[in-house]
Amino acid sequence: MKKERSLAGRFLQYGALALFVQLACACSDKAPPPPPVANSAQGTSASTPAAAPVADGKLVVAFGDSLYAGYNLDQGKGLAPVLEQALAAKGMKAQVVNAGVSGDTSAAGLARLAFTLDGLARKPDLMLVGLGGNDMLRGLSPEVTRDNLDAILAELKKRGIPVLLTGMLASPNMGPDYAAAFNPIFPALAKKYDATLYPFMLDGVIGDRALQLPDGIHPNDKGVTVIVGKLAPVVMEELRG
């Protein structure tokens, strides 16, 4: 609880309302159709099938929204390629597949989940799941968000795919009642499905304009490096586990 209050405070300090209005405008209001298959971290286009996994290496899939997709970043600067490089630097041979789609809600993610998984060369060793932020921006029912994420995690459990769930916190302008319903979704589902929880995807970036794009919330390349610096050790632990 102290962790969540501290992180929520960063939203308040930075003027969360303006930030989230900008983010809502930056992300598409219409959920895109499922891509033909998730693209790899090597900078291939979204319509290019994922390359075969590294021989004798791990396969990681980053399944989420714009924070995973590398929104408005140069090729090779998004979460997936930077995470792959960080793992390699730590001696972990892995391919990180970018299955992020900007503007995705939890419902859109659920709709494309099976298609994405079936298009992979093999079952992933780890699935990063980062959805729900756009649900919150649009004021969608937290109960619906919970149900969609629950269905995603249930399908991954059915397929025997380990999960690292990256959480999101409600903007304070959504009000205390919304936050009370939204914020517990991620820890509760992580516990239910025995998934590892990374509590807040934007930890270390929110509130620091030097780490953000001009929209005031999406990470720039430096911000992605900060996120990966915190996230990579957790991914490493999961892959070694």
Residues noted as catalytic: 66, 215, 218
Angle at CA of residue 19, ends 23 and 107, nearest 5°: 35
Token pair 């209005």 is at which residue?
Answer: 21
For residue 1 the two structure tokens come to: 């609880």
The DSSP secondary-structure symbol of 49 reads P
For residue 52 the two structure tokens come to: 């075969």
Amino acid at 203: D
Q: Collapse the DSSP code of 74 into the 3-class scheme (helix H, G, I; strand E, B; otherwise coil) and give the result.
A: coil
Angstrom distance (rounded) from CA 208 to CA 214: 11
Give the end-to-end CA distance of the chain in Å, rounded to a whole number.
27
